[in-house]
Amino acid sequence: MDEDFDVAIVGAGPAGISAAYILAKKGIKTIIFERGEYPGAKNISGGVLYGHDLARIIPDFMDRNCPVERNIVESRLWYLSKQGGYSVAYRDRVFYDRTPLNAFTVGRARFDRWFAEQAVAQGALLISNTVVTDLLRNGSNRVSGVKTDRPDGDVRARIVLLADGINSALAAKTGFRPEPKPDAVALAVKDVIELPEEMINERFGVEAGQGVTTEIVGEITAGMDGIAVIYTNRHSLSICIGANLSDFMKYKVKPYDMLEEFKSHPMVVPLIKNGRPKEYMAHWIAEGGYDTIPRLAGEGFLIAGDSASLFNALHREGSNMAMTSGRFAAETIIEAFGKGDFTGESLAGYMARLRDSYIMADLKKYRGFNGFRLKHHELFSVFPELAGMSAREMLTVDGTSKKQKQKNIWKRIRKEISLLKIARILWDGLRSVK
Ligand SMILES: Cc1cc2nc3c(=O)[nH]c(=O)nc-3n(C[C@H](O)[C@H](O)[C@H](O)COP(=O)(O)OP(=O)(O)OC[C@H]3O[C@@H](n4cnc5c(N)ncnc54)[C@H](O)[C@@H]3O)c2cc1C
């Protein structure tokens, strides 16, 4: 390609498209490369997006046929032992018809494609089926464009935005981001199970268009630090389960076996009964948090979204951070064009924007959470088993007095774990999210 661009963006996920939309709208000549056949073709996520962050980019997204599956009106939390589990749920009328929607499910293949079309309509050039293989540098080692796997594929650009997701080989090439360590990533697998729309409404107790998220921890991850989710789409359920990669290596559990086991849990079976498996996918999740965020602005480049390690593992928020970091990157680039200054110093305003926002505030707040979970595997083994045993014991009517049952429970707890250990875990847990 002989043409020069103002900005080259690597990756048409939420981060890259958000930046492309804002830049193109401002008349900045923007090219966006996507390795998939189309944006979204290679992307999976549990599928919850957040209206606030999207509306800051496209305020009237609902009027533009954004492919929303369901508006989330209820969030459930389950803590499961092997045989049963606890459930708490919160539903609020406030979420029924809020503008913009608070949280909603999407299929990423449809959503990313729609989102990219909005950016293209603003003037961004989207090149799919193309892998960016390296960064171009000028004589002073400043990033000056990208190399692609096309024969004529070098593209010069004043600024390159790396929005290529967790596996970003390019972020590593900047020298800023080391290869993520196994304990800083999770491996998640996902099944999409088709069911008739009315059946989903009935099983989850919602009206048409309304949805429920269920986040699940406990023995379902075979003692590993992990989580599962069940999200309602219009005609399907997204079932994901994942665990920390270092645990997968240690415990030698196969992700697919874990998913199948989870689907046979008594709390899950009634929800997916008679469903038809539609898709199966696997993906990494950036779980390292605050301490794994690299420098994000250098000479001629910025890094956004998952490739910048912007993911809140406790609240399962990544797509919103990707969109907002993409927006901040675009605003910083627009400022740089205003000044005609594309140095690392000029682009450092990007870090300031992130620092002044909820992104760094939240990631800093939860910086100890990843380490806490990895340190205390009892949360995924002994605790759920004891919690299940306690409820089972108290609910079983067998002629034993309640006082005796309490004694039995207490004896069993003391046998499995010391009070000191319980106090330690509670203390560490509170400190990790302070
Ligand atoms: C199982 C699972 C469930 C999740 N659930 C949720 C959820 O419910 N809510 C939420 O907010 N977040 C969730 N996340 C996280 C969320 O998906 C990510 O945080 C978000 O997608 C990050 O957006 P991104 O644009 O940074 O990266 P991505 O969405 O990964 O997009 C990167 C894009 O770059 C492309 N690309 C990569 N390398 C190259 C290259 N060299 N050349 C060209 N193109 C390239 C990829 O094909 C991709 O399209 C989940 C993640 C997983 C894995």
Which atom from ligand 1 is nearest to the alpha carbon of 16?
25
Task: Please give the distance, rounded to the nearest whole angstrom, from the Cα atom of residue 130 to the centre of ligand 1.
Answer: 17
DSSP string, 394-411: HH--SS--HHHHHHHHHH
Confidence category of residue 389, pLDDT binned at 50, 70, 90: very high
**Range from 43-57, 127-141, 332-346 carrying the lowest mean pLDDT:** 43-57
Task: Please give the distance, rounded to the nearest whole angstrom, from the Cα atom of residue 165 to the centre of ligand 1.
Answer: 5
Distance between the two ends of the chain, CA-based, in angstroms?
51
Which atom from ligand 1 is nearest to the alpha carbon of 168?
38
Tens-place pLDDT, residues 236-268:
999 999 999 999 999 999 999 999 999 999 999
- State the Cα–Cα distance between residues 309 and 293, nearest whole angstrom: 5
Task: Output the residue whose Cα is nearest ligand 1's atom 5.
Answer: 46
The token duo for 396 is 């079983």
Rounded to an integer, the average pLDDT of 365-386 is 95
Angle at 286 (CA atoms; ends 354, 137), nearest 5 degrees: 65
In a mutational test of the pocket of ligand 1, which residue from 285, 292, 293, 363 has the highest number of ligand atoms less than 8 Å from its CB? Answer: 285
Task: Output the residue whose Cα is nearest ligand 1's atom 19.
Answer: 318
**Choice between 122 and 2, residue whose per-residue pLDDT is larger:** 122
- pLDDT score at 189: 95
Task: Please give the distance, rounded to the nearest whole angstrom, from the Cα atom of residue 9 to the centre of ligand 1.
Answer: 14
Mean pLDDT (the chain, rounded)? 95
Which atom from ligand 1 is nearest to the alpha carbon of 304?
26
Task: Output the residue whose Cα is nearest ligand 1's atom 35.
Answer: 11
Tens-place pLDDT, residues 75-123:
999 999 999 999 999 999 999 989 999 999 999 999 999 999 999 999 9
Tens-place pLDDT, residues 179-216:
889 999 999 999 999 999 999 999 999 999 999 999 99
- pLDDT score at 160: 97
Task: Output the residue whose Cα is nearest ligand 1's atom 33.
Answer: 11
Confidence category of residue 2, pLDDT binned at 50, 70, 90: low
Task: Please give the distance, rounded to the nearest whole angstrom, from the Cα atom of residue 178 to the centre of ligand 1.
Answer: 19
Confidence category of residue 172, pLDDT binned at 50, 70, 90: confident
Task: Please give the distance, rounded to the nearest whole angstrom, from the Cα atom of residue 11 to the centre of ligand 1.
Answer: 9
Q: How many CB atoms lie within 10 A of CB 49?
A: 26
The token duo for 152 is 């004529």
- State the Cα–Cα distance between residues 368 and 258, nearest whole angstrom: 27
Which atom from ligand 1 is nearest to the alpha carbon of 148?
42
- pLDDT score at 103: 97
Residue 1 scores a pLDDT above 80: no
Rounded to an integer, the average pLDDT of 124-129 is 97
Task: Please give the distance, rounded to the nearest whole angstrom, from the Cα atom of residue 44 to the centre of ligand 1.
Answer: 7
Which atom from ligand 1 is nearest to the alpha carbon of 286?
19
- pLDDT score at 177: 84
- pLDDT score at 178: 84
- pLDDT score at 169: 87
- pLDDT score at 268: 98
Whole-model pTM: value is 0.96
Contacts with 364 (C-beta within 8 Å, 6 or more apart), sequence order = 290
Task: Please give the distance, rounded to the nearest whole angstrom, from the Cα atom of residue 166 to the centre of ligand 1.
Answer: 7
Contact residues of ligand 1, CB 6 A cut-off: 10-16, 33-36, 42-48, 131-132, 163-165, 188, 190, 240, 283, 285, 305-306, 311, 316-320, 322
- State the Cα–Cα distance between residues 348 and 296, nearest whole angstrom: 8
- pLDDT score at 218: 97
- pLDDT score at 322: 98
Residue 44 scores a pLDDT above 80: no
Task: Please give the distance, rounded to the nearest whole angstrom, from the Cα atom of residue 134 to the centre of ligand 1.
Answer: 20
Confidence category of residue 279, pLDDT binned at 50, 70, 90: confident
In a mutational test of the pocket of ligand 1, which residue from 106, 306, 320 has the highest number of ligand atoms less than 8 Å from its CB? Answer: 306
Hunting for tokens 């907002």 — which residue is that? 324
Residue 3 scores a pLDDT above 90: no
- pLDDT score at 434: 86
- pLDDT score at 140: 86
